[in-house]
Chains A and B, each alone.
Chain A
Amino acid sequence: MQPSHNPPALQLKVSRQAQQFAHQFSRAYETQAKRQQVYLNTLAIAVVNKYLELFDIITDLNQSPGWQVECQALDDTADLHIPGFGSLACRPVLMNAESCYLPPGDHIGCVAVQFDFDQEQLDQQLMDNAPLARGIIRATLVGFMEVATYEETIIPLTQFQDFTGLFTKLSEFQVLPAALLNTPVPFDVNNEKTYQACVGQTEAFDQLLHDFPQIMKAGVNVLGDWLEGTIESSWQTVEALLNQPAWEPAIAGRSSFAVRSAQTSPRLASNTLERCKVLMLKENEPLALIVVIEPKPTEDMRVTVELWPIREPQLPDTLEFQLLNESGIAIMQAQAHGSNHLLFTFSCDPGNIFDLKVILDQTQIIESFVI
């Protein structure tokens, strides 16, 4: 059933909150060794807790020895309590380490968590009175191992297996409470209603963009919204563009864009929507980016994107036009080389994402779209 290869171990970021706890818990100790022990144990337990949360595995952090100040102080513990199951030792491992130290104790298993810092960086981080370093900490969930012994053990990291063993053991114990099975759905790309809810959720982000426009130069153009009549004002009809005084003299001349507009517009089907935007990659070389969308009776949508010079009869020779897929890989590309326009036509399904990239010499503009 499973493919033969084993995917790489999962890496999670250590939340700022966990880092904050780790500092709080460790700060008051008198020796560097104890501070480091408590700091690392706290991070390890927080990461494993986060990981198990992903799988709806119920843990009780507050009842966990590793999270109680008395136990942290008077023992070396990063034990996470899993109700109805027992204690899972979450053992921290530094970068470059090849084994994991498991103190003696009553554990049902051990999870090794490897951090992306070494001893020297840890020393730096926890130096007396040093200001708290707020770097990103990443933790790799090396794996799980069942432990039967009460003894102190050093376990080579290569002996850890993936989490199937833990999940198997757990499935014999924990039963999910019904409440968890009915959590509300935040958004669903395939469902119009919840999709709208998702779009709604980004309103606050739009406000943020408005306040800090430098964060993200290009927003995402949602073509589904276009069909419902919500179109950003930077996208205008071709007629509106032609009627703009700024472009009038050019268009009155021999601009191929004007010629195109005279020919194309009447032949548009009634359900087709056409919008254009002026791109300025170079002074005095305005280009018109035209997006034409045509919904189909089936779910997909035909999209035509065109690039025209507004002033000149031809596009600049070195101009490049690319269609990128959701991974940023160019799936269609063209160079102007004397053309009077460039054009791509393709069909898209709901949820598809694509970017248009226009490059002229050292300058580029990216417009992002989602259907």
Chain B
Amino acid sequence: MSTNAINATLKQFALQAQAAPQGSLQRRVALDHLIRTLQGCKLLYRPPRNRFPQLYEEVCDEAMQRLFEHICRKIDQYNPKYEVTQWVNFLLKRCFFPQAWKALLSDHLPLKEWDQPDSESPSLVEQIIEYIKTDPEQCLSSVQVRSRPDITFQSLALEILAGYKWREIEAKLSSPISTMCSFYRGHLKQFAPQIQAHIQDNPPS
């Protein structure tokens, strides 16, 4: 598409969005089309690469995201006297690239903690795994799939905890997904609060 055609399309979406009330179906559809067209249009401002040598791609992504948020919330501020690309490029250059850069710089510092594994006490996940494995209240292994006493809530939970998909569990246990899944989900609703309460009452020592 030519630049003129893209600008015309963008303006059309922007005007459609402005004409529809906030939160309406028409506005959402027009905004969705508007930002998707913008993202693909190759007419958007990008700072010279040497301005942000380390984080260039990330700064660009961040600025675009901020732009999309602004467009979706403030489309009423768009003045149709100008092209959408003029409006948007002004915002990118003057506001969102500087903001994105600033945000990423400040964002970088606390991330060091990410790498630290959770230190002393076992995490909630570990406590759940422990509960499923040991069945301290003797309830998980007592509920069984009808006609298949070997398939208990506990045995299914262990499969799920290991990351097996239902399809794989079906193949492994030769029992239909629908039967096992409705059995499991039904009891999960019942056991989840119980497991939660048990973990709260028995903090790891």
The complex places the Cα of A12 from the Cα of B67 at a distance, in Å, of 12
Contact in complex: B114, A23 (CB < 8 Å): yes
B94 CB, min distance to chain A CBs, angstroms? 6
B98, B115, B196: the one within 8 Å of A70 (CB): B196
A-chain residues with CB within 8 Å of residue B77 when the two chains form the complex: 185, 188-191
A-chain residues with CB within 8 Å of residue B12 when the two chains form the complex: 3
B-chain residues with CB within 8 Å of residue A167 when the two chains form the complex: 25, 28-29, 32
Contact in complex: B33, A152 (CB < 8 Å): no
If over half of A's interface residues share one DSSP class (helix, strand or loop), that class is named, otherwise mixed; here it is: loop
A248 in the interface (beta carbon within 8 A): no
B-chain residues with CB within 8 Å of residue A352 when the two chains form the complex: 86, 90
A127 in the interface (beta carbon within 8 A): no
Q: Known A13-B62, A69-B124; judge A326-B163 contact (CB<8 A).
A: no
Interface range for B: 35 or more
B-chain residues with CB within 8 Å of residue A199 when the two chains form the complex: 94
What are 29 A-to-B residue pairs whose CB atoms are below 8 Å?
A7-B37, A8-B36, A8-B39, A13-B61, A13-B62, A16-B111, A28-B122, A28-B129, A32-B163, A33-B162, A54-B35, A57-B28, A69-B128, A70-B196, A71-B188, A71-B192, A74-B188, A101-B165, A150-B178, A151-B177, A175-B23, A176-B22, A188-B74, A191-B77, A205-B98, A326-B90, A351-B87, A366-B48, A370-B90
List residues of B whose CB falls within 8 A of some A CB. Answer: 9, 12, 16, 22-25, 28-29, 31-33, 35-37, 39-40, 43-48, 50-52, 57-58, 61-62, 64-65, 68-70, 72-74, 77, 79, 81-82, 85-87, 89-91, 93-95, 98-99, 101-102, 105, 107, 111, 114-115, 117-118, 122-126, 128-129, 132, 157, 160-167, 177-178, 181, 185, 188, 192, 195-196
Besides A74-B157, A152-B177, 18 other CB < 8 A contacts?
A13-B64, A20-B114, A28-B118, A29-B125, A29-B163, A54-B69, A69-B124, A103-B165, A167-B28, A181-B22, A183-B73, A189-B90, A199-B94, A217-B50, A326-B93, A328-B46, A351-B86, A368-B93
